[in-house]
Structures are given as structure tokens and as C-alpha cells.
């Protein structure tokens, strides 16, 4: 099975090649620094299947027509969509399943931006910047990769649903990051839009590295305001702001504010992100009911639990993840709890959800236990009684702010107005609070009853859901449509 790893930097190619060889893999290198004889030898080794991995610059792919390449990796973002399409197209020419992997960072965009800035012809330079913005939007997008590629080349296709990273991790739960976005953008503004993402994060974290001190950025009001958030999370937030064009990358990797950035800073525009994208590793270990681990579960048992969840979700007219997420179902399938006490030890199961769904899930779980079932050991963590204040520490402060306003008996419209957030964002907060056991479902229903949707709009939405099969799928398709039409 042949694989190609593309990298734009000649100096890194030998390093990658040697690393593969140390792992016992058959690999070779191909780049302009080699002699013609060495390049010819490496080329023949790959074509004749004497080696499995070729680490090369993009020039290698230009003359290759090998049908059984199964894996193409890009170590940085290509210059254009056309270039990426051509290079990834080296995989699977025999029609058999193959994979491609694109690794990228904002540093790639800064480097390519500097190259473009050196172009003298203004028309060509402008076109190059536009092409770069399109490949950036593709890399950061949250919709189906196949659909985005076909759309770029004026073709249309349905979402693949099972063949790309975004479809395999669908956009089901989102987190509001408006406050963090304001911090990030404010720091860009106060550092005069001259620095890259790494430096902005250093200022937010209160770093005392030499660059920060030399620039006297430790004297800024934003210095250290983001110390409660990890570096990894700040990077994700910065990437999200680039994705939605709140930021652009100028000369020397400097981040520049756009009109959208100003709207966000004035609380005129909210910013959200996939919740899963924020779930980065942290040095602070959070207490869990069951020690974190991967569980091997019977696929049939999991599917039966998923079917019950889907049934309940349809009955209640809400997304399935609000009932229980896949992680919770996986633990249920592993431990097969047979009473409320053991069900409560599953991550994601609280007293409110026990009251609402416990009986139905326990009834199903009882049928899934066989006589020879061996009870797995649950590594339980002793927990004190949890108060609402203690529970609030588990969620982001933006949800707590919404909860505080709800407890003042304010209507949804007024909460949205006071928080300068869109109504869907507030509704999402309410669902999150219920899912975390911090708000009663009855209160949610009371709040939701005050939201009026035009009858024509409601009918249109209902028809779409009926055609697509579920609210989740309708939301998924709308999310894709939104990403593909941001410039319209």
C-alpha cells in the first residue's frame, strides 16, 4: 500500500524520511536538493513498489501516474483549491477506497501570505489572496469535505455522511464563545494588529516571554485576561475567528480585524463553535463519576440504546444528543446498569434525566443483560452532594449568566436583548442547562412557549424535516449551506 507525504519545506523532508525508516517502514525522499540520479532512483523505487512511503515536495506528484496510492498526506495547507485537488487526486486512481489527510495551521497561512505580498502585479496578487482565502475556508469549514470540493468546482453532490471528518463528527452541539472572541479580538486591536496568533495568545495568557516584554504588552489591560483558558483552546478560538472572517492574516503573519470583528466586539454579533472542538486536553483533571477510559461494547446493544434515544427524541421534538450523548450510551452498553443507583454513576446521567428517561432505559437494559453477564468494575469517585452553585462550575460562564437571568424570571426575548445574543444562542443555552441538570424541563417548556414562530415558516421547516428525516439532518444541511454561502 503506497503512501505520499507532501511537504513544502525541503529541509524537513530528510527528517520525516529518516523518522519513518526508524519505525521500520520503507520510505524514501524526493526533493530538489537531491541529484538527478538520486531523484530518479527514488522515483523508480516508488513506482516499482520497492518502498511504501515517499516524502516529497509537490513537484513529485506532477509526473506520477500510479494507481495504487492509498494515502496522501499534506503537511501544510496548499496554495489553492486547484492544487490541493490535483495533489490529493493521486490517491485511489484504481477506484479502491483511499484516504487523504490535510494538516494545517495559521502559520501556513501567514507564510503563504508573505509570499503573495511579494508579488508585484496587483491583479495577480489580489487573485492569489482570494485563492488563499478559499483554501483557508475549506480547511476550517465544518461541512462535508466532498460537498465543499464539488461545490468549488461548480458541481453539486449530497453530503457523504460517512467519508470525511466533518460528516463523521457532525455539527450537533455548539458552544457560545462570544466573550472569549471579544477578548481575543480586543487583544489584536490593542497590540495594533501587528502580531500573529501565537503572540496574541501569549498576551492573553499573561506570558512573560521576551517578545511580550520587549513590546511592553504586559502593560496592556488585556494582559493575562485569558489565563483561565488553555493555550490549546485559545488557538482553537483564534482559528474559528479566522474561519468566519472576523480576522485576516496580513503581512508578517499579523492578524487584522474585519468589519465582522468590530460587530463582535460591540456585541452585535455572536460567535459559536463546535463543542467538540473546544474539548482539548487540559493539565487540570476534572472529577468524573467513572474513571475515563475507552469501552469495548457490543454494537447490537449500542444500536438498541441508540434506537430508544431516537424514539424519545422524536417524541419530545428535540435533538437526540440532548437526551443522552453517544459517550453516555457507550458506558450504558458497557456496564448495563440494572437500577437507578448504578445508572446514576454513568457520565451524563443526572437526577432529572433519571426521572424523565430512567424507567424506559432501565427496562431496555434489563432485556440486554444475559445470564452469563459479568459485572464490570466501576471505578467510582466519591462525590459530595452537589449544589446548584457547584454544578455551575462544570459549565462555561456564559451559560451561568443566562441561568442567572432565567432565575430572575425574565422572558427569553429580554434575556437575549440584555446579553446581546441571538435568540437561537439563548435557546441553546437553555437546552444545555437542562442537559446538565441545572434547569428543570418544566421551566424550559415555560420559556419555550413564549417563542412565537410564524405559521408559514413553521410549515416550511416541518416540510423540510419530513423530507430529510430528522431535525438533526435538517440542521446539518443548513449548517453546510451556511458555510458554503458565507460570501453571498
What is the CATH classification number for the domain harbouring 318? Answer: 1.10.150.80
**Does 13 fall in a domain?**
yes
- One domain, residues 200 and 92: no
In terms of domains, do 319 and 179 share one? no
Mark whether 437 and 326 lie in a shared domain.
no
Q: Give the residue from 167, 201, 225 where a domain finishes.
A: 167
Asked if residue 255 belongs to a domain, the reply is yes
What per-residue confidence (pLDDT) applies to 381?
Answer: 39
Q: Residue 32: which CATH number?
A: 3.40.50.300
| 163 shares its domain with 180 | no
Same domain, 158 and 98: yes
Query: What Cα–Cα distance (Å) separates residue 295 from each residue in 137, 276, 331, 349?
Result: 36, 19, 7, 17
Of the three residues 368, 400, 418, the one that is the final residue of a domain is 368
Instruction: Kindly state whether residues 37 and 159 are assigned to the same domain.
Output: yes
Note whether 152 and 200 are same-domain residues. Answer: no
Query: Do 163 and 184 belong to one domain?
Result: no
pLDDT score, position 65:
65
Query: Which CATH number characterizes residue 227's domain?
Result: 1.10.10.10
Contact 120, 128 (CB under 8 A): no
Residue at a domain's end among 222, 247, 278: 278
Q: Is the pTM of this model over 0.85?
A: no
Predicted confidence at residue 199, as pLDDT, reads 93
Tell whether 466 is covered by a domain.
no
Kindly state whether residue 111 falls inside one of the protein's structural domains: yes
Burial 241-262 (b: 16+ CB within 10 A, else e): bbbbbbbbbbeebbbebeebbe
In the numeric block, which cell numbers belong to residue 346?
454513568
Same domain, 141 and 47: yes
pLDDT in tens, the chain (488 residues): 677 777 776 667 777 778 888 888 888 888 777 888 888 888 888 877 788 888 888 767 555 667 778 899 998 889 899 989 888 888 887 777 889 999 887 778 778 888 888 888 888 888 888 888 888 888 878 788 998 888 888 787 888 888 898 888 775 677 889 999 999 999 999 999 999 888 999 999 999 889 999 999 999 988 988 888 888 889 889 888 987 889 987 766 689 999 999 999 998 999 988 787 776 533 333 333 333 345 778 888 888 998 998 898 888 876 666 677 777 888 888 888 888 888 888 877 877 788 888 999 999 998 988 777 766 655 443 333 333 333 334 456 677 878 888 887 778 888 887 776 778 788 888 888 887 778 887 778 778 877 878 888 877 887 877 776 666 667 767 767 766 665 55
Is 460 within a domain?
Answer: no
Q: For cell 476550517, name the residue.
A: 140
Report the distance separating Cα 239 and Cα 232, nearest Å.
Answer: 11
Instruction: Tell me the C-alpha distance between 69 and 60, whole Å.
Output: 13
Domain of 58 in residue numbering reads as: 2-167
Indicate if 94 and 17 belong to the same structural domain.
yes
455: in domain: no
Same domain, 344 and 440: no
Residues 87 and 132 in one domain: yes
Asked if residue 483 belongs to a domain, the reply is no
Q: Which residues of 38-55 are buried (b: 16+ CB within 10 A; e: fewer)?
A: ebeebbebbeeeebbbbb
Residues in Cβ contact with 313 at an 8 Å cutoff, skipping those fewer than 6 apart: 319, 320, 322, 323
- CA 151 to chain CA centroid, Å, is 21
Count of the separate structural domains present in the chain: 4
**Longest pairwise C-alpha distance within the chain:** 78
User: Per the domain annotation, does 480 fall within a domain?
Assistant: no
Amino acid at each position: 500500500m503506497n503512501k505520499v507525504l507532501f511537504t513544502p519545506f525541503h529541509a524537513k523532508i530528510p527528517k520525516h524520511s529518516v523518522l519513518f525508516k526508524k519505525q521500520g517502514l520503507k520510505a524514501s525522499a524526493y526533493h530538489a536538493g537531491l541529484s538527478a540520479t538520486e531523484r530518479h532512483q527514488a522515483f523508480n523505487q516508488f513506482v516499482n513498489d520497492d518502498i511504501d512511503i515517499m516524502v516529497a515536495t509537490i513537484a513529485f506528484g506532477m509526473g506520477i501516474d500510479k494507481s495504487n496510492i492509498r494515502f496522501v498526506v499534506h503537511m501544510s495547507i496548499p496554495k489553492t483549491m486547484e492544487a490541493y485537488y490535483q495533489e490529493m487526486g493521486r490517491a485511489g486512481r484504481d477506484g479502491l477506497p483511499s484516504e487523504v489527510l490535510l494538516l494545517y495551521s495559521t502559520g501556513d497561512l501567514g507564510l503563504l501570505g508573505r509570499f503573495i505580498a511579494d508579488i508585484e502585479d496587483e491583479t495577480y496578487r489580489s487573485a492569489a489572496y482570494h485563492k488563499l482565502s478559499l483554501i483557508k475556508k475549506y480547511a476550517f469549514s465544518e461541512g462535508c469535505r466532498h460537498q465543499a470540493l464539488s461545490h468549488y468546482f461548480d458541481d453539486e453532490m449530497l453530503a457523504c455522511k460517512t467519508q470525511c471528518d466533518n460528516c463523521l463528527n457532525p455539527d450537533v452541539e455548539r458552544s457560545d464563545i462570544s466573550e472569549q472572541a471579544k477578548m481575543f479580538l480586543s487583544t489584536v486591536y490593542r497590540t495594533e494588529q501587528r502580531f500573529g496568533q501565537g503572540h496574541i495568545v501569549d498576551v492573553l495568557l499573561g506570558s512573560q516571554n521576551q517578545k511580550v516584554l520587549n513590546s511592553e504588552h504586559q502593560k496592556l489591560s488585556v494582559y493575562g485576561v485569558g489565563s483561565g483558558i488553555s493555550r490549546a483552546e485559545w488557538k482553537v478560538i483564534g482559528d474559528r475567528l479566522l474561519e468566519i472572517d472576523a480576522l485576516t492574516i496580513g503581512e508578517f503573519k499579523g492578524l487584522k480585524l474585519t468589519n465582522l470583528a468590530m460587530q463582535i466586539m460591540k456585541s452585535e454579533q455572536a460567535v459559536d463553535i463546535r463543542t467538540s472542538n473546544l474539548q482539548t486536553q487540559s493539565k487540570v483533571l476534572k472529577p468524573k463519576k467513572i474513571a475515563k477510559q475507552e469501552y469495548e461494547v457490543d454494537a447490537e446493544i449500542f444500536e438498541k440504546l441508540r434506537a430508544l434515544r431516537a424514539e424519545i427524541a422524536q417524541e419530545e421534538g428535540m435533538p437526540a444528543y440532548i437526551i443522552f450523548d453517544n459517550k453516555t450510551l457507550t458506558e450504558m452498553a458497557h456496564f448495563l446498569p440494572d437500577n437507578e443507583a448504578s445508572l446514576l454513576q454513568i457520565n451524563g446521567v443526572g437526577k432529572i434525566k433519571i426521572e424523565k428517561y430512567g424507567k424506559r432505559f432501565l427496562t431496555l437494559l434489563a432485556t440486554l443483560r444475559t445470564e452469563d453477564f459479568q459485572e464490570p468494575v466501576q471505578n467510582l469517585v466519591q462525590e459530595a452532594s452537589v449544589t446548584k452553585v457547584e454544578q455551575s462550575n462544570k459549565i462555561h460562564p456564559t451559560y451561568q449568566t443566562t441561568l442567572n437571568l432565567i432565575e430572575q424570571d425574565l422572558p427569553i426575548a429580554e434575556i437575549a436583548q440584555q446579553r446581546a445574543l441571538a435568540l437561537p444562542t439563548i435557546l441553546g443555552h437553555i437546552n444545555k442547562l437542562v442537559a446538565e441538570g441545572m434547569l428543570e424541563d418544566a421551566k424550559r417548556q415555560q420559556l419555550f412557549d413564549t417563542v412565537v414562530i410564524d405559521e408559514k415558516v413553521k410549515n416550511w421547516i416541518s416540510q423540510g424535516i419530513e423530507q430529510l428525516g430528522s431535525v438533526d439532518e435538517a440542521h446539518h444541511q443548513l449548517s453546510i449551506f451556511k458555510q458554503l454561502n458565507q460570501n453571498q
